[in-house]
Structure 1
Amino acid sequence: MHRILLIAVPLFGLCIAFEWLWGRLKGRDTYRLSDSISSLSQGLMSLAVAAVTPLFQNGMYAWLQPHLALVRPSVWDGWWGWAVAIVVYDLCDYWLHRVSHESALFWAAHTVHHQSEHFNLTTALRQESFYAVMGWPFFLPMALLGMPLEQYVAAGLFVLLYQFWIHTEHIGRLGWLDRVFSTPSNHRVHHAVNPRYLDKNYGAVLVIWDRMFGTFAEETEPCVYGTVKPLHSWNPIKAVGQFYGELFDRARATPRWADRIRVLFKSPGWAPPGTSTTAEPDGDRLRQSRFDPAVSRLDRWRAVSLVAMTGVASAVWLDASDDMSEARNLVAAAVIAAGLYAAGALLARGTDGGGDRGRRTRRLRGWGLYLGAMALCAGMIAILA
């Protein structure tokens, strides 16, 4: 699947460029460079994790389907079988998505997708690294129905690619389509932290699941994007681990083992007795300015070129990953993570300040970080190409 996604990358890039240009022409630019780099970094991280966890991507389904199938796979032959597979997959995905907002351990994996305080097509590529690793049991109903692996994979790819176009603020209400499908208006609601919008509109392709199960909300007020507790960091490793760290702190804060287990499976806003957490957005959160610290021009373009180099290294690696050992894939994934970490660190450096000596030290550290990460990625390309 990751190879198909890499083929789609040029189209994604063209769409992102068009949306950015359209926003500039209309005086409504929804992009910020640091935020977009952060989102693209998470997309590359998710591809890296997928490459080193093939068992959880499609392997579990391939292994279990022959043992669980209650219906002969041949029943699904024909075009209509592929259409049914998409609908069933979308329903399974609704419940996975819903649980990922209502259960803390699953939210820890899913929260990455919601951390951006902007809403544009790069947000669509801000994919979760551990979502598929934790979510595969939700699709076992398809195995019970005997749907072949090819239909399961194709349906998952369709549902994933469909969601790309709904991450935009430049498409308004779409009439009857908003009542049936997940559309930009419906999905803006899903990404918002406005109290009336929280935990709504989970459907990936069809929003009728939300209407059926009571989780639908129409877009009636301007959306404030992000998470209830903002990330306020460009560090991709911190982004992935932020809520896991919060869960650990909550569990450590209570002496009762039963409460430590509850921390993992109750809602993300639940905390053991005697501890506190931010459960709901308040007025200050809704009025809070977006995280966008100043970055020097040099660091901006170093970060851009570094993410581009990391992207090329990812493409070369993922094209060969199926034929590589698990150990070599893990090393390659570490190189990708190092490159993305360095790009985030460059964006977090701020602008030069202090005396001449301090500025020189900062510049040397910046170049060391940049050149070291570029050398790692270039070395991996040279070895694998």
Structure 2
Amino acid sequence: MSLVTLAIPFFLLAVLVELALDRWRGWGLYRLNDALGSLSAGILSRILGLIRVGILMLLYIPLYQWLEPTYRQLGLTWSLDNPWHLVLAVIAYDFCYYWKHRISHEINIFWAEHLVHHQSEDYNLTTALRQSSDLVPLGWIFYLPLLLIGMPPEVLITAGAIDLIYQFWVHTQKFPKVQWMEWILVTPSNHRVHHAQNRVYVDRNYGGVLIVWDRLFGTYQEELEHEPCIYGVRKPLNTFDPLAANLQHFKRMWLDAVYTKSWKEKFTLWFRATGYRPADAEADLPYPSCNLDHFRRYDPRLTPGPRYYALAQHLCYSAATLALLWSSKNLDYGTVALIVAMLVIGLVINGRILDGEARTRGWEQARLVLLVVTLPLLPQVVWMPLLAYAGISMTIWRMLVFPQKGDTVSPVSQ
């Protein structure tokens, strides 16, 4: 089991601690809908990872094995038992991560993958768990240079997990600026800058563990006291659906490719600078950026019933995801794929419930019926719990939504 999977319960515990402090101190860092949107994106990322092939290891392992005799001749040896080897591995990995992260902000198709992590208009520990699902995986390219120093696959995987786990704690607004740390490490202060959409902060501070890369390559920006961070992206997502979050920029690029009349543009816009659009496509299909002087977070107004129903469903999906991550190796691929598909459907509908989408009245009922229909394809041990879950959920959902056909949804300013 990966280090990241083992760390998930500790991540969730830290979120609960920060949430409790937020409610106790009245900080206002958490909104239920935004937090669930971020956590849902994180769940989607983890479960889709169970049913796709990891391209990096698919290429890295045979290339490493091919080069292994050369490494032996050169005396290039690595060991996870040697702490200094692990330190050097994390530094080397973080250098590659810096360039991957930077390019992800600078080129359209890479931004389409990375954008998910920046869509949250809040900044708290749930933002750290808001990860892309790599629907078009490209990031592996940036780690192949680690073959040049003979880094074994198991060392690469461990260094990558440490790099990712480290980045969790920097997604908080309540850790103060510590000057000596700002020179060496990625901290909550300089990472807040990275997530801000203010002009002075955009496309800065790309490091994962070390901020020295940004200082060396001219992309460092200190957090300014007179410039509070405004979180999110300039073209807001405006939904809590995690699948839509992953498709947001891909959809826009696809529509640009359809609308533009230039065949050259149809093929090159994917690899142009982030935000580039063909002139004719932009004229026919404008996407206005948000006004930072009058910024309003996306926050549909819902009655308490659907909001808490969505929270309860999210807790069920979280428990199912943890169980699946722990037991997936004992299940056949078809069963895992079916469970993943049912979870994806649930996450999408739950996000739309938080949006106040009227059609979820029928969608949620259809999801629960579909779950019951697919029970014979699942392990028999889960039949009774899932049948009870479906029956209770259907009863509560029908009680909540059908007497309230006049509900309206409107954005509110925060």
The answer for the alignment partner of 1:287 in structure 2 is: 294
Tell me the TM-score normalised to structure 2 length: 0.83
Judging changes above 3 Å, is the alpha-carbon distance between structure 1 residues 164 and 363 closer, same or farther for their aligned structure 2 residues? closer
Q: Can you list the C-alpha shifts for 1:259-315, whole angstroms capped at 9, x where unaligned?
A: 222211111211123332889966x23422111111221111211121111122222
- Using the TM superposition, give the Cα deviation of residue 74 of structure 1 relative to its aligned residue in structure 2, in angstroms: 5.2
Task: Determine if contact 2:41/2:243 at 8 Å carries over to the other structure.
Answer: no
Matched, 1:337 2:348: no
Question: Aligned partners of 1:169 and 1:200: how far apart in 2?
Answer: 18
SS in structure 1 opposite 2:356?
coil
Q: What SS does the corresponding residue of 2:137 show, helix, strand or coil?
A: helix
Closer/same/farther in 2, CA of residues 312 and 196 from structure 1, 3 Å limit: same
Q: CA shift at 1:61, angstroms?
A: 2.1
1:316–1:384 contact (8 Å) kept in structure 2: no
Structure 1 position 378, deviation (Å) = 8.2
Is 2:80 the partner of 1:71?
Answer: no
Cα offsets for 1:216-271 (capped at 9, x unmatched): 11111100010110001111221111110000011122222222222111112111
Q: Which moved more, 1:109-118 or 1:77-86?
A: 77-86
8 Å CA contact retained: 1:115, 1:227: yes
User: In 2, Cα distance between the equivalents of 1:278 and 1:174?
Assistant: 42
| Alignment partner of 2:307 out of 281, 300, 311 | 300
Instruction: Tell me, in whole angstroms, the C-alpha distance in 2 between the residues paired with 1:64 and 1:342.
Output: 42
C-alpha deviation, 1:332, in angstroms? 2.3
Partner of residue 27, structure 1: 26
Q: Which residue of 2 is the match for residue 214 of structure 1?
A: 218
Q: Does 1:179 align with 2:183?
A: yes
Q: 1:120 aligns with which of 109, 117, 124?
A: 124
Range 38-47 or range 325-334, more displaced: 325-334
- Secondary structure of the corresponding residue to residue 54 of structure 1: coil
Residue 268 in structure 1 maps to residue 262 in structure 2:
no
Letter of the structure 1 residue corresponding to residue 166 of structure 2: Y
Secondary structure, counterpart of 1:241 in structure 2: helix
> What is the distance in 2 between the residues matched to 1:336 and 1:243?
23
1:197 alignment partner, one of 194, 197, 201: 201
**Alpha-carbon shift at residue 137 of structure 1 (Å):** 1.4
| Shift of residue 317, structure 1, vs aligned partner | 2.2
Distance of aligned partners of 1:378 and 1:13 in 2 relative to their CA distance in 1, 3 Å threshold: farther
Look up the match of 1:349.
356
Q: CA RMSD in A?
A: 2.7
Do structure 1's residue 228 and structure 2's residue 225 form an aligned pair?
no
Relative distance call for 1:131 and 1:245 in structure 2 (3 A) is closer
Distance 2:117 2:295 in 1: 20
Aligned equivalent of 1:140, options 130, 133, 144: 144
Shift in alpha-carbon separation, 1:42–1:363, aligned structure 2, 3 A: closer
The number of residue pairs the alignment matches comes to 373
Among residues 72, 88, 95, which one is paired with 1:84 in the alignment?
Answer: 88
CA 1:216 to 1:363, structure 2 compared with 1: closer, same or farther past 3 Å? closer
Percent of counterpart pairs with the same letter?
35
Q: Which whole-Å CA distance do the structure 1 matches of 2:158 and 2:287 have between them?
A: 37
User: What amino acid maps onto 2:164 in structure 1?
Assistant: L
- Distance change >3 Å, CA 319–CA 198, structure 1 → 2: same
Flag structure 2 segments of 5+ consecutive residues without an equivalent. Answer: 383-414
Amino acid at match of 1:71: Y
Of 306-315 and 87-96, more deviation after overlay is shown by 306-315
Matched, 1:53 2:52: yes
Q: Give the equivalent residue in structure 1 for 2:400.
A: none
Select the residue among 248, 257, 270 that pairs with 1:251. 257
Partner residue of 2:155?
A: 151
Question: Hey, what's the Cα distance between the residues in 1 that align with 2:230 and 2:257?
Answer: 30
**Structure 2 counterpart SS, 1:271:** coil
SS class of match (2:237): coil
Q: Check 1:381–1:30 CA distance in 2 against 1; reply closer, same or farther (3 A cut).
A: farther
Q: What CA distance in whole angstroms lies between the structure 2 residues aligned with 1:365 and 1:25? A: 38
Greater CA drift, 148-157 or 253-262: 253-262
Query: Offset of 1:349 from its aligned partner?
Result: 2.1
Gaps of 5+ in 1: 353-361
**Which structure is larger by alpha-carbon Rg, 1 or 2?**
2
Is residue 36–residue 311 contact of structure 2 (8 Å, CA) maintained in 1? yes
1:329 is displaced (CA, Å) by 3.1
Distance 1:376 1:79, change over 3 A: farther
Instruction: Quote the offset at 1:121 in angstroms.
Output: 0.2
Where does residue 162 of structure 1 map in the other structure? 166
Distance 1:150 1:129 in 2: 22
CA 1:364/1:278 → structure 2, altered by over 3 Å: closer, same or farther? closer
